[in-house]
Chain A
Amino acid sequence: MDETIYSRRKFIKTLSIGVGSLLLLPRCTFSKASDWRFFTNEEGALVDAIVEQIIPTDEWPGAKYAMVTNFIDKQLVGPYTRHQEIYRNSLSAIQIACKKAFSKKFEELAWDEQTDFLVSLEKNEIATKVLDKSVANGNPIRDADKAIIENWLKSNFFSLIRNHTMQGFYGSPRHGGNYKFVSYRMIGLDPYPIMGQNRYKASSNGQ
Protein backbone atom coordinates (compact mmCIF):
# COMPACT_ATOMS: atom_id res chain seq x y z
CA MET A 1 0.00 0.00 0.00
CA ASP A 2 2.67 2.45 1.06
CA GLU A 3 4.59 1.50 -1.91
CA THR A 4 1.63 2.26 -4.14
CA ILE A 5 1.14 5.70 -2.64
CA TYR A 6 4.82 6.41 -2.92
CA SER A 7 4.86 5.31 -6.47
CA ARG A 8 1.90 7.41 -7.23
CA ARG A 9 3.45 10.46 -5.63
CA LYS A 10 6.68 9.81 -7.36
CA PHE A 11 4.83 9.47 -10.61
CA ILE A 12 3.06 12.81 -10.26
CA LYS A 13 6.30 14.46 -9.22
CA THR A 14 8.14 13.04 -12.20
CA LEU A 15 5.34 14.06 -14.45
CA SER A 16 5.41 17.66 -13.29
CA ILE A 17 9.17 17.82 -13.79
CA GLY A 18 8.59 16.37 -17.20
CA VAL A 19 6.00 18.99 -18.11
CA GLY A 20 8.27 21.72 -16.82
CA SER A 21 11.09 20.47 -18.98
CA LEU A 22 8.80 20.27 -21.94
CA LEU A 23 8.06 23.95 -21.67
CA LEU A 24 11.73 24.81 -21.47
CA LEU A 25 12.82 22.86 -24.53
CA PRO A 26 12.75 24.47 -27.95
CA ARG A 27 9.41 23.80 -29.59
CA CYS A 28 10.73 22.47 -32.84
CA THR A 29 12.25 19.40 -31.21
CA PHE A 30 8.75 18.13 -30.73
CA SER A 31 6.67 19.76 -33.42
CA LYS A 32 8.95 19.08 -36.39
CA ALA A 33 10.17 15.72 -37.57
CA SER A 34 12.66 17.10 -40.11
CA ASP A 35 14.95 20.06 -40.59
CA TRP A 36 13.90 20.18 -44.26
CA ARG A 37 10.77 21.22 -46.13
CA PHE A 38 10.33 18.00 -48.09
CA PHE A 39 13.20 15.68 -47.21
CA THR A 40 13.40 13.69 -44.00
CA ASN A 41 16.67 14.18 -42.13
CA GLU A 42 17.80 10.77 -43.42
CA GLU A 43 17.01 11.76 -47.00
CA GLY A 44 18.76 15.09 -46.49
CA ALA A 45 21.96 13.32 -45.43
CA LEU A 46 21.78 11.04 -48.46
CA VAL A 47 21.15 13.92 -50.88
CA ASP A 48 24.09 15.80 -49.36
CA ALA A 49 26.30 12.82 -50.19
CA ILE A 50 24.98 12.43 -53.75
CA VAL A 51 25.24 16.09 -54.71
CA GLU A 52 28.75 16.26 -53.26
CA GLN A 53 29.68 13.41 -55.62
CA ILE A 54 28.20 15.32 -58.56
CA ILE A 55 30.06 18.52 -57.69
CA PRO A 56 32.83 17.53 -55.25
CA THR A 57 34.98 19.78 -53.14
CA ASP A 58 38.42 20.38 -54.66
CA GLU A 59 40.35 23.60 -54.23
CA TRP A 60 36.89 25.17 -54.33
CA PRO A 61 33.95 24.14 -52.13
CA GLY A 62 31.52 21.57 -53.46
CA ALA A 63 27.78 21.15 -53.67
CA LYS A 64 27.28 20.55 -49.97
CA TYR A 65 28.90 23.85 -49.03
CA ALA A 66 26.85 25.58 -51.74
CA MET A 67 23.67 24.30 -50.03
CA VAL A 68 22.52 22.42 -53.09
CA THR A 69 20.39 20.10 -50.95
CA ASN A 70 18.60 23.16 -49.64
CA PHE A 71 18.01 24.30 -53.23
CA ILE A 72 16.52 20.96 -54.24
CA ASP A 73 14.43 20.70 -51.09
CA LYS A 74 13.04 24.18 -51.69
CA GLN A 75 12.13 23.47 -55.33
CA LEU A 76 10.47 20.17 -54.41
CA VAL A 77 7.80 22.08 -52.52
CA GLY A 78 7.68 24.71 -55.30
CA PRO A 79 8.20 24.39 -59.05
CA TYR A 80 9.42 20.79 -58.73
CA THR A 81 6.46 19.41 -56.78
CA ARG A 82 5.94 17.00 -59.67
CA HIS A 83 9.32 15.39 -58.88
CA GLN A 84 8.47 14.59 -55.25
CA GLU A 85 7.44 11.01 -56.01
CA ILE A 86 10.60 10.09 -57.89
CA TYR A 87 12.82 11.65 -55.23
CA ARG A 88 11.08 9.89 -52.35
CA ASN A 89 11.09 6.48 -54.01
CA SER A 90 14.48 6.65 -55.68
CA LEU A 91 16.22 7.82 -52.51
CA SER A 92 14.58 4.96 -50.65
CA ALA A 93 15.65 2.53 -53.39
CA ILE A 94 19.27 3.73 -53.12
CA GLN A 95 19.39 3.04 -49.37
CA ILE A 96 17.73 -0.37 -49.72
CA ALA A 97 20.22 -1.26 -52.43
CA CYS A 98 23.22 -0.07 -50.39
CA LYS A 99 22.01 -1.95 -47.35
CA LYS A 100 21.61 -5.18 -49.34
CA ALA A 101 24.82 -4.86 -51.32
CA PHE A 102 27.15 -3.29 -48.71
CA SER A 103 25.24 -3.49 -45.41
CA LYS A 104 25.78 0.26 -45.14
CA LYS A 105 24.01 3.48 -45.92
CA PHE A 106 25.10 5.22 -49.13
CA GLU A 107 26.70 8.06 -47.22
CA GLU A 108 28.73 5.55 -45.16
CA LEU A 109 30.36 4.02 -48.24
CA ALA A 110 33.92 4.96 -49.16
CA TRP A 111 34.15 7.85 -51.66
CA ASP A 112 35.09 5.59 -54.57
CA GLU A 113 32.35 3.12 -53.74
CA GLN A 114 29.84 5.96 -53.85
CA THR A 115 31.22 7.07 -57.22
CA ASP A 116 31.00 3.54 -58.64
CA PHE A 117 27.44 3.25 -57.42
CA LEU A 118 26.41 6.49 -59.15
CA VAL A 119 28.26 5.59 -62.36
CA SER A 120 26.25 2.35 -62.46
CA LEU A 121 23.08 4.26 -61.69
CA GLU A 122 23.80 6.66 -64.54
CA LYS A 123 24.32 3.70 -66.89
CA ASN A 124 21.09 2.14 -65.66
CA GLU A 125 22.98 -0.94 -64.46
CA ILE A 126 22.78 -0.64 -60.70
CA ALA A 127 19.47 -2.45 -60.14
CA THR A 128 20.66 -5.62 -61.90
CA LYS A 129 24.01 -5.45 -60.10
CA VAL A 130 22.44 -5.20 -56.67
CA LEU A 131 19.90 -7.95 -57.30
CA ASP A 132 22.62 -10.28 -58.66
CA LYS A 133 24.88 -9.53 -55.73
CA SER A 134 22.19 -10.22 -53.17
CA VAL A 135 21.50 -13.61 -54.76
CA ALA A 136 25.23 -14.40 -54.83
CA ASN A 137 25.49 -13.43 -51.16
CA GLY A 138 22.69 -15.83 -50.34
CA ASN A 139 20.82 -12.78 -49.07
CA PRO A 140 17.91 -12.53 -51.49
CA ILE A 141 15.83 -9.39 -51.42
CA ARG A 142 12.20 -9.64 -50.42
CA ASP A 143 9.68 -8.95 -53.15
CA ALA A 144 8.58 -5.51 -51.92
CA ASP A 145 12.18 -4.21 -51.86
CA LYS A 146 12.92 -5.85 -55.18
CA ALA A 147 10.01 -3.99 -56.74
CA ILE A 148 11.23 -0.66 -55.34
CA ILE A 149 14.72 -1.27 -56.71
CA GLU A 150 13.48 -2.33 -60.11
CA ASN A 151 11.02 0.54 -60.44
CA TRP A 152 12.96 3.42 -58.97
CA LEU A 153 16.69 2.74 -59.22
CA LYS A 154 17.06 4.08 -62.73
CA SER A 155 19.17 6.42 -64.80
CA ASN A 156 16.34 8.96 -65.18
CA PHE A 157 16.61 9.74 -61.47
CA PHE A 158 20.33 10.25 -61.81
CA SER A 159 19.83 12.66 -64.72
CA LEU A 160 17.27 14.55 -62.68
CA ILE A 161 19.39 14.96 -59.56
CA ARG A 162 22.44 15.72 -61.70
CA ASN A 163 20.58 18.57 -63.44
CA HIS A 164 19.15 19.85 -60.16
CA THR A 165 22.60 19.81 -58.59
CA MET A 166 24.01 21.86 -61.45
CA GLN A 167 21.12 24.32 -61.08
CA GLY A 168 21.63 24.61 -57.34
CA PHE A 169 25.37 25.14 -57.64
CA TYR A 170 25.51 27.41 -60.70
CA GLY A 171 22.12 29.17 -60.54
CA SER A 172 21.07 32.28 -58.65
CA PRO A 173 21.53 32.17 -54.86
CA ARG A 174 18.00 33.44 -54.45
CA HIS A 175 16.72 29.90 -54.87
CA GLY A 176 18.64 28.58 -51.90
CA GLY A 177 21.85 27.25 -53.48
CA ASN A 178 25.10 28.79 -54.82
CA TYR A 179 25.87 29.91 -51.27
CA LYS A 180 27.71 33.23 -51.26
CA PHE A 181 27.99 33.06 -55.08
CA VAL A 182 30.58 30.31 -54.66
CA SER A 183 30.32 29.07 -58.26
CA TYR A 184 30.57 32.58 -59.69
CA ARG A 185 33.67 33.20 -57.65
CA MET A 186 35.11 29.88 -58.79
CA ILE A 187 34.57 30.73 -62.46
CA GLY A 188 35.80 34.27 -61.92
CA LEU A 189 32.58 36.06 -62.75
CA ASP A 190 31.62 39.23 -60.97
CA PRO A 191 28.01 39.41 -59.94
CA TYR A 192 26.14 41.49 -62.47
CA PRO A 193 26.86 45.16 -62.70
CA ILE A 194 23.58 46.91 -62.00
CA MET A 195 23.57 50.43 -63.33
CA GLY A 196 23.48 52.99 -60.57
CA GLN A 197 23.80 50.48 -57.78
CA ASN A 198 25.84 47.48 -56.84
CA ARG A 199 23.47 45.00 -55.27
CA TYR A 200 25.96 42.26 -54.53
CA LYS A 201 29.11 42.71 -52.56
CA ALA A 202 30.77 39.35 -53.27
CA SER A 203 34.30 39.69 -54.59
CA SER A 204 35.47 38.00 -57.75
CA ASN A 205 38.40 36.14 -56.26
CA GLY A 206 38.99 34.29 -53.03
CA GLN A 207 36.22 33.57 -50.60
Chain B
Amino acid sequence: MIWNPKIEQMGRDEMTALQTARLRETVARQYRNVPFYKERFDAIGLAPEDIRSLDDLKLIPVTTKEDLRNNYPDKLFAVPRREIVRIHASTGTTGKPTPVGYTRADLDMWSECMARLISMAGVTADDTAQISFGYGLFTGALGLHYGLEKVGCSVIPISAGNTERQIMMMQDLGSTVLISTPSYALYIADTMERLGIGKDTIRLRVGLFGGEGSTEEMRAAIEDKLGILATENYGLSEVLGPGVSGECACKNGMHICEDNFIVEIVDPETMLPVPDGEWGEVVITPIHREGMSLLRYRTRDISRIMPGECPCGRTSRRMQKLRGRTDDMLIIRGVNVYPSQIEGVLIGMDGIGPHYELVVHNHRTLNSLEVRVEPTDETMLVDYGRLIEMQKRIRANLRTVLNIDADIKLVEPHSLKRFEGKARRVTFVNDED
Protein backbone atom coordinates (compact mmCIF):
# COMPACT_ATOMS: atom_id res chain seq x y z
CA MET B 1 0.00 0.00 0.00
CA ILE B 2 1.16 3.52 -0.78
CA TRP B 3 0.67 5.56 2.40
CA ASN B 4 0.69 9.00 0.81
CA PRO B 5 0.08 8.68 -2.95
CA LYS B 6 -0.06 12.44 -3.42
CA ILE B 7 3.56 12.81 -2.33
CA GLU B 8 4.98 9.41 -3.15
CA GLN B 9 3.67 9.48 -6.71
CA MET B 10 4.11 13.17 -7.33
CA GLY B 11 5.37 14.19 -10.76
CA ARG B 12 8.98 15.36 -10.97
CA ASP B 13 8.22 18.98 -11.80
CA GLU B 14 5.77 19.30 -8.99
CA MET B 15 8.22 17.70 -6.55
CA THR B 16 10.98 20.04 -7.68
CA ALA B 17 8.71 23.02 -7.10
CA LEU B 18 7.77 21.77 -3.63
CA GLN B 19 11.41 21.12 -2.71
CA THR B 20 12.49 24.51 -4.00
CA ALA B 21 9.84 26.35 -2.01
CA ARG B 22 10.71 24.45 1.18
CA LEU B 23 14.44 24.89 0.66
CA ARG B 24 14.06 28.65 0.31
CA GLU B 25 11.97 28.82 3.46
CA THR B 26 14.47 26.68 5.33
CA VAL B 27 17.46 28.76 4.26
CA ALA B 28 15.70 31.99 5.23
CA ARG B 29 14.70 30.60 8.60
CA GLN B 30 18.14 29.20 9.37
CA TYR B 31 19.76 32.50 8.49
CA ARG B 32 17.33 34.35 10.71
CA ASN B 33 17.28 32.02 13.70
CA VAL B 34 20.65 30.29 13.90
CA PRO B 35 23.69 32.59 14.41
CA PHE B 36 26.02 29.86 13.15
CA TYR B 37 24.42 29.94 9.68
CA LYS B 38 24.15 33.71 9.55
CA GLU B 39 27.87 34.02 10.27
CA ARG B 40 28.70 31.36 7.75
CA PHE B 41 26.64 33.00 5.00
CA ASP B 42 27.94 36.46 5.81
CA ALA B 43 31.53 35.25 5.80
CA ILE B 44 31.32 34.19 2.16
CA GLY B 45 28.98 36.96 1.08
CA LEU B 46 26.08 34.62 0.44
CA ALA B 47 22.56 35.92 1.03
CA PRO B 48 19.59 33.63 1.72
CA GLU B 49 17.90 35.12 -1.37
CA ASP B 50 20.76 33.81 -3.52
CA ILE B 51 19.36 30.32 -3.10
CA ARG B 52 16.61 30.33 -5.70
CA SER B 53 16.67 26.83 -7.10
CA LEU B 54 17.78 23.34 -6.13
CA ASP B 55 20.82 23.91 -8.28
CA ASP B 56 21.88 26.78 -6.01
CA LEU B 57 22.10 24.43 -3.05
CA LYS B 58 25.72 23.69 -3.88
CA LEU B 59 26.62 27.31 -3.08
CA ILE B 60 26.04 26.61 0.59
CA PRO B 61 29.03 25.20 2.50
CA VAL B 62 28.43 21.77 4.02
CA THR B 63 27.68 21.29 7.70
CA THR B 64 29.86 18.71 9.44
CA LYS B 65 29.81 16.69 12.62
CA GLU B 66 32.48 19.04 13.90
CA ASP B 67 30.12 21.98 13.42
CA LEU B 68 27.60 20.16 15.62
CA ARG B 69 30.28 19.59 18.21
CA ASN B 70 31.35 23.22 18.16
CA ASN B 71 27.76 24.26 18.74
CA TYR B 72 27.22 21.89 21.63
CA PRO B 73 24.76 21.43 23.17
CA ASP B 74 21.92 23.30 21.47
CA LYS B 75 23.23 26.33 19.61
CA LEU B 76 21.89 24.93 16.34
CA PHE B 77 18.35 24.65 17.65
CA ALA B 78 16.23 27.00 15.55
CA VAL B 79 13.39 27.58 18.00
CA PRO B 80 13.15 28.56 21.69
CA ARG B 81 13.38 25.61 24.09
CA ARG B 82 9.71 25.84 25.03
CA GLU B 83 8.79 24.76 21.52
CA ILE B 84 11.04 21.70 21.70
CA VAL B 85 9.12 18.62 22.82
CA ARG B 86 11.80 15.95 22.41
CA ILE B 87 15.59 15.78 22.50
CA HIS B 88 17.52 12.84 21.07
CA ALA B 89 21.28 12.61 20.71
CA SER B 90 23.75 10.82 18.54
CA THR B 91 27.14 9.53 19.49
CA GLY B 92 29.95 12.00 19.05
CA THR B 93 33.61 11.70 18.32
CA THR B 94 34.72 13.16 21.61
CA GLY B 95 32.56 11.22 23.99
CA LYS B 96 29.95 13.95 24.14
CA PRO B 97 26.78 13.15 22.24
CA THR B 98 25.33 15.69 19.82
CA PRO B 99 21.77 16.63 20.84
CA VAL B 100 18.97 17.06 18.32
CA GLY B 101 15.73 18.91 19.13
CA TYR B 102 12.24 18.21 17.78
CA THR B 103 9.10 20.33 17.85
CA ARG B 104 5.66 18.77 17.83
CA ALA B 105 5.44 19.35 14.08
CA ASP B 106 8.82 17.61 13.66
CA LEU B 107 7.51 14.54 15.46
CA ASP B 108 4.44 14.54 13.18
CA MET B 109 6.64 14.82 10.11
CA TRP B 110 8.84 12.00 11.44
CA SER B 111 5.86 9.70 12.02
CA GLU B 112 4.62 10.53 8.53
CA CYS B 113 7.95 9.54 6.95
CA MET B 114 8.06 6.37 9.00
CA ALA B 115 4.47 5.47 8.13
CA ARG B 116 5.41 5.68 4.45
CA LEU B 117 8.46 3.43 4.87
CA ILE B 118 6.55 0.98 7.03
CA SER B 119 3.70 0.75 4.52
CA MET B 120 6.19 0.43 1.68
CA ALA B 121 7.56 -2.74 3.31
CA GLY B 122 4.02 -4.14 3.23
CA VAL B 123 3.19 -3.63 6.89
CA THR B 124 -0.42 -2.72 7.81
CA ALA B 125 -2.68 -2.19 10.81
CA ASP B 126 -3.13 -5.96 10.96
CA ASP B 127 0.49 -6.48 11.95
CA THR B 128 2.09 -6.88 15.35
CA ALA B 129 5.51 -5.24 15.45
CA GLN B 130 8.27 -6.05 17.88
CA ILE B 131 10.78 -3.21 18.30
CA SER B 132 14.10 -4.76 19.24
CA PHE B 133 16.13 -1.56 18.94
CA GLY B 134 17.41 -0.17 22.21
CA TYR B 135 15.14 2.65 23.44
CA GLY B 136 16.78 5.80 24.71
CA LEU B 137 18.63 8.71 23.17
CA PHE B 138 19.12 6.63 20.03
CA THR B 139 16.47 7.63 17.46
CA GLY B 140 15.85 4.17 15.98
CA ALA B 141 13.39 2.76 18.48
CA LEU B 142 11.15 5.79 19.02
CA GLY B 143 11.20 6.75 15.35
CA LEU B 144 9.83 3.38 14.29
CA HIS B 145 7.56 3.26 17.35
CA TYR B 146 5.59 6.37 16.43
CA GLY B 147 5.42 5.41 12.76
CA LEU B 148 4.12 1.92 13.52
CA GLU B 149 1.47 3.34 15.83
CA LYS B 150 0.44 5.80 13.15
CA VAL B 151 -0.03 2.93 10.71
CA GLY B 152 -2.06 1.18 13.38
CA CYS B 153 0.16 -1.79 14.16
CA SER B 154 0.20 -3.40 17.58
CA VAL B 155 3.57 -2.26 18.88
CA ILE B 156 5.66 -4.28 21.36
CA PRO B 157 8.38 -1.96 22.70
CA ILE B 158 10.55 -4.82 23.93
CA SER B 159 13.87 -2.99 23.30
CA ALA B 160 17.16 -4.78 22.62
CA GLY B 161 18.66 -7.70 24.51
CA ASN B 162 17.44 -10.78 26.36
CA THR B 163 17.13 -12.76 23.14
CA GLU B 164 15.35 -15.77 24.59
CA ARG B 165 12.60 -13.53 25.90
CA GLN B 166 12.41 -11.86 22.48
CA ILE B 167 11.76 -15.25 20.92
CA MET B 168 9.18 -16.15 23.55
CA MET B 169 7.25 -12.91 22.94
CA MET B 170 7.46 -13.51 19.21
CA GLN B 171 5.91 -16.93 19.68
CA ASP B 172 3.32 -16.01 22.32
CA LEU B 173 2.14 -12.67 20.88
CA GLY B 174 2.54 -13.76 17.28
CA SER B 175 4.73 -10.84 16.20
CA THR B 176 4.68 -10.47 12.43
CA VAL B 177 7.17 -7.59 12.08
CA LEU B 178 10.67 -7.32 13.50
CA ILE B 179 12.43 -3.96 13.93
CA SER B 180 16.16 -4.25 14.72
CA THR B 181 19.66 -3.98 13.37
CA PRO B 182 20.37 -6.64 10.73
CA SER B 183 23.05 -8.18 12.92
CA TYR B 184 20.66 -8.55 15.84
CA ALA B 185 18.07 -10.17 13.55
CA LEU B 186 20.66 -12.72 12.52
CA TYR B 187 21.62 -13.22 16.14
CA ILE B 188 17.99 -13.93 17.02
CA ALA B 189 17.82 -16.44 14.15
CA ASP B 190 20.96 -18.19 15.34
CA THR B 191 19.70 -18.30 18.90
CA MET B 192 16.49 -19.95 17.68
CA GLU B 193 18.57 -22.52 15.84
CA ARG B 194 20.67 -23.21 18.91
CA LEU B 195 17.56 -23.66 21.05
CA GLY B 196 15.98 -25.92 18.45
CA ILE B 197 13.11 -23.49 17.80
CA GLY B 198 11.88 -23.82 14.20
CA LYS B 199 10.83 -20.80 12.16
CA ASP B 200 7.40 -22.44 11.77
CA THR B 201 6.73 -21.68 15.47
CA ILE B 202 6.86 -17.91 14.85
CA ARG B 203 4.74 -15.72 12.60
CA LEU B 204 7.28 -13.10 11.55
CA ARG B 205 6.85 -12.11 7.93
CA VAL B 206 8.62 -8.76 7.49
CA GLY B 207 11.72 -7.15 8.96
CA LEU B 208 12.57 -3.43 8.87
CA PHE B 209 16.25 -3.15 9.52
CA GLY B 210 18.52 -0.17 10.04
CA GLY B 211 21.07 1.43 12.31
CA GLU B 212 23.96 -0.17 10.46
CA GLY B 213 24.76 -1.39 6.98
CA SER B 214 24.61 -4.98 5.85
CA THR B 215 25.53 -7.05 2.84
CA GLU B 216 23.15 -8.79 0.44
CA GLU B 217 24.52 -12.12 1.75
CA MET B 218 23.50 -11.16 5.25
CA ARG B 219 20.05 -10.16 4.05
CA ALA B 220 19.65 -13.51 2.29
CA ALA B 221 20.67 -15.37 5.45
CA ILE B 222 18.15 -13.42 7.58
CA GLU B 223 15.36 -14.00 5.08
CA ASP B 224 16.09 -17.69 4.89
CA LYS B 225 16.49 -18.36 8.60
CA LEU B 226 13.50 -16.31 9.78
CA GLY B 227 11.33 -16.88 6.72
CA ILE B 228 10.74 -13.15 6.20
CA LEU B 229 11.04 -10.31 3.72
CA ALA B 230 13.97 -8.20 4.97
CA THR B 231 13.92 -4.51 4.08
CA GLU B 232 16.36 -1.80 5.01
CA ASN B 233 15.79 1.83 5.88
CA TYR B 234 18.09 4.78 6.32
CA GLY B 235 18.42 7.91 8.34
CA LEU B 236 20.59 9.53 10.95
CA SER B 237 19.72 11.38 14.06
CA GLU B 238 21.52 14.58 13.03
CA VAL B 239 18.88 15.17 10.35
CA LEU B 240 15.94 13.35 11.99
CA GLY B 241 16.58 9.67 12.65
CA PRO B 242 15.29 6.78 10.53
CA GLY B 243 12.84 8.03 7.93
CA VAL B 244 15.06 9.64 5.31
CA SER B 245 14.63 6.69 2.97
CA GLY B 246 13.65 3.04 2.91
CA GLU B 247 13.11 0.03 0.70
CA CYS B 248 9.76 -1.09 -0.63
CA ALA B 249 9.02 -4.78 -1.09
CA CYS B 250 10.91 -4.67 -4.43
CA LYS B 251 14.18 -4.22 -2.45
CA ASN B 252 15.36 -2.08 -5.25
CA GLY B 253 16.94 0.92 -3.55
CA MET B 254 15.64 3.11 -0.73
CA HIS B 255 12.87 5.56 -1.66
CA ILE B 256 13.71 9.01 -0.37
CA CYS B 257 11.05 11.09 1.42
CA GLU B 258 11.85 13.92 -0.96
CA ASP B 259 9.27 16.38 0.27
CA ASN B 260 11.19 16.46 3.56
CA PHE B 261 14.80 15.83 2.56
CA ILE B 262 17.01 16.84 -0.31
CA VAL B 263 19.57 14.11 -0.77
CA GLU B 264 22.64 15.02 -2.79
CA ILE B 265 25.40 12.64 -3.82
CA VAL B 266 28.65 14.59 -3.93
CA ASP B 267 32.31 14.14 -4.65
CA PRO B 268 33.85 13.95 -1.14
CA GLU B 269 36.80 16.09 -2.27
CA THR B 270 34.95 18.97 -3.90
CA MET B 271 31.55 18.67 -2.22
CA LEU B 272 29.99 19.19 -5.64
CA PRO B 273 27.16 16.95 -6.81
CA VAL B 274 28.00 14.02 -9.09
CA PRO B 275 25.62 12.88 -11.85
CA ASP B 276 22.84 10.46 -10.92
CA GLY B 277 24.06 6.87 -10.89
CA GLU B 278 27.57 7.73 -9.72
CA TRP B 279 28.82 6.81 -6.28
CA GLY B 280 29.65 9.55 -3.83
CA GLU B 281 29.04 10.88 -0.35
CA VAL B 282 25.48 11.40 0.85
CA VAL B 283 24.74 15.01 1.84
CA ILE B 284 21.32 15.69 3.32
CA THR B 285 19.34 18.89 3.77
CA PRO B 286 16.16 18.53 5.80
CA ILE B 287 13.70 21.03 4.28
CA HIS B 288 10.72 20.57 6.54
CA ARG B 289 12.17 20.69 10.03
CA GLU B 290 11.53 23.26 12.75
CA GLY B 291 13.47 22.35 15.90
CA MET B 292 16.81 21.87 14.26
CA SER B 293 17.63 21.91 10.61
CA LEU B 294 21.01 21.55 9.00
CA LEU B 295 22.03 22.85 5.61
CA ARG B 296 23.87 20.23 3.57
CA TYR B 297 24.85 17.84 6.33
CA ARG B 298 27.81 15.60 5.45
CA THR B 299 26.82 12.09 6.43
CA ARG B 300 30.10 10.43 5.40
CA ASP B 301 27.99 7.57 4.05
CA ILE B 302 28.63 6.40 0.50
CA SER B 303 25.74 5.66 -1.85
CA ARG B 304 24.39 6.58 -5.27
CA ILE B 305 21.08 7.54 -6.83
CA MET B 306 19.63 4.52 -8.59
CA PRO B 307 18.61 4.97 -12.19
CA GLY B 308 15.23 3.99 -13.60
CA GLU B 309 11.80 3.68 -12.09
CA CYS B 310 10.69 1.31 -9.37
CA PRO B 311 7.96 -1.18 -10.32
CA CYS B 312 6.14 -0.33 -7.07
CA GLY B 313 4.66 2.79 -8.69
CA ARG B 314 6.34 5.38 -6.47
CA THR B 315 8.04 8.19 -8.34
CA SER B 316 10.50 9.09 -5.58
CA ARG B 317 14.20 8.87 -6.26
CA ARG B 318 16.01 5.99 -4.64
CA MET B 319 19.42 5.63 -3.00
CA GLN B 320 21.27 2.36 -3.13
CA LYS B 321 22.23 0.41 -0.03
CA LEU B 322 25.24 2.11 1.56
CA ARG B 323 28.62 0.98 0.35
CA GLY B 324 30.80 2.27 3.18
CA ARG B 325 31.98 5.53 4.66
CA THR B 326 34.39 8.30 3.81
CA ASP B 327 35.72 8.54 7.36
CA ASP B 328 37.00 6.01 9.83
CA MET B 329 33.83 5.56 11.85
CA LEU B 330 33.25 1.97 12.92
CA ILE B 331 29.93 0.48 13.82
CA ILE B 332 30.33 -2.02 16.63
CA ARG B 333 27.14 -3.86 17.53
CA GLY B 334 25.08 -0.94 16.26
CA VAL B 335 27.08 1.69 18.15
CA ASN B 336 29.09 4.31 16.26
CA VAL B 337 32.72 4.27 17.31
CA TYR B 338 35.45 6.62 16.14
CA PRO B 339 39.09 5.60 16.56
CA SER B 340 39.77 9.14 17.81
CA GLN B 341 37.51 8.49 20.81
CA ILE B 342 39.57 5.45 21.70
CA GLU B 343 42.78 7.36 21.21
CA GLY B 344 41.54 10.07 23.54
CA VAL B 345 40.97 7.53 26.31
CA LEU B 346 44.26 5.70 25.84
CA ILE B 347 46.41 8.81 25.70
CA GLY B 348 45.05 9.95 29.03
CA MET B 349 46.11 6.75 30.81
CA ASP B 350 49.34 5.98 32.67
CA GLY B 351 51.30 2.81 32.15
CA ILE B 352 50.61 2.32 28.46
CA GLY B 353 52.23 3.69 25.35
CA PRO B 354 50.68 6.04 22.78
CA HIS B 355 50.46 3.44 20.04
CA TYR B 356 47.41 1.31 19.57
CA GLU B 357 45.75 -0.93 17.07
CA LEU B 358 42.07 -1.72 16.66
CA VAL B 359 40.90 -5.06 15.37
CA VAL B 360 37.27 -5.44 14.38
CA HIS B 361 36.30 -9.09 14.50
CA ASN B 362 33.41 -9.78 12.20
CA HIS B 363 31.68 -12.88 13.41
CA ARG B 364 28.88 -14.02 11.20
CA THR B 365 26.24 -12.40 13.38
CA LEU B 366 27.85 -9.84 15.67
CA ASN B 367 31.08 -7.93 15.52
CA SER B 368 33.41 -7.07 18.35
CA LEU B 369 36.25 -4.67 18.97
CA GLU B 370 39.71 -5.61 20.17
CA VAL B 371 42.02 -2.85 21.35
CA ARG B 372 45.74 -3.64 21.40
CA VAL B 373 48.01 -1.54 23.57
CA GLU B 374 51.59 -1.72 24.77
CA PRO B 375 52.19 -1.60 28.52
CA THR B 376 55.20 0.56 29.38
CA ASP B 377 55.44 0.46 33.15
CA GLU B 378 57.98 -2.26 33.94
CA THR B 379 57.17 -2.30 37.63
CA MET B 380 53.83 -3.85 36.77
CA LEU B 381 55.65 -7.09 36.04
CA VAL B 382 56.15 -7.54 39.77
CA ASP B 383 52.60 -8.67 40.13
CA TYR B 384 50.44 -10.40 37.62
CA GLY B 385 47.38 -8.80 39.16
CA ARG B 386 48.56 -5.32 38.23
CA LEU B 387 48.53 -6.12 34.53
CA ILE B 388 45.06 -7.63 34.80
CA GLU B 389 43.99 -4.59 36.79
CA MET B 390 45.21 -2.33 34.05
CA GLN B 391 43.34 -4.30 31.39
CA LYS B 392 40.17 -3.83 33.43
CA ARG B 393 40.81 -0.13 33.89
CA ILE B 394 41.25 0.45 30.16
CA ARG B 395 38.08 -1.50 29.46
CA ALA B 396 36.09 0.49 32.00
CA ASN B 397 37.38 3.85 30.71
CA LEU B 398 36.55 2.90 27.13
CA ARG B 399 33.11 1.77 28.21
CA THR B 400 32.39 5.16 29.74
CA VAL B 401 33.10 6.89 26.46
CA LEU B 402 32.04 4.34 23.84
CA ASN B 403 29.19 2.62 25.61
CA ILE B 404 30.43 -0.77 24.48
CA ASP B 405 32.82 -3.34 25.93
CA ALA B 406 36.04 -3.82 24.05
CA ASP B 407 38.49 -6.68 24.47
CA ILE B 408 41.77 -5.27 25.70
CA LYS B 409 44.88 -7.04 24.59
CA LEU B 410 48.26 -6.17 26.10
CA VAL B 411 51.01 -6.69 23.57
CA GLU B 412 54.78 -6.47 23.79
CA PRO B 413 56.42 -3.08 23.68
CA HIS B 414 57.41 -2.00 20.16
CA SER B 415 55.32 -4.73 18.60
CA LEU B 416 52.59 -2.43 17.25
CA LYS B 417 53.11 -0.84 13.88
CA ARG B 418 54.53 2.68 13.91
CA PHE B 419 53.29 5.03 11.26
CA GLU B 420 54.79 7.90 9.43
CA GLY B 421 52.06 10.03 7.96
CA LYS B 422 48.55 8.70 7.89
CA ALA B 423 48.12 5.87 10.36
CA ARG B 424 46.10 2.83 9.51
CA ARG B 425 45.28 1.45 12.87
CA VAL B 426 42.17 -0.53 12.10
CA THR B 427 42.13 -4.05 10.74
CA PHE B 428 39.15 -6.24 10.02
CA VAL B 429 39.18 -9.94 10.71
CA ASN B 430 36.50 -12.37 9.68
CA ASP B 431 36.15 -14.95 12.41
CA GLU B 432 34.45 -18.30 12.15
CA ASP B 433 31.46 -18.31 14.45
Chain A complexes with chain B: no
Interface residues of B (CB under 8 A from A): none
Interface residues of A (CB under 8 A from B): none
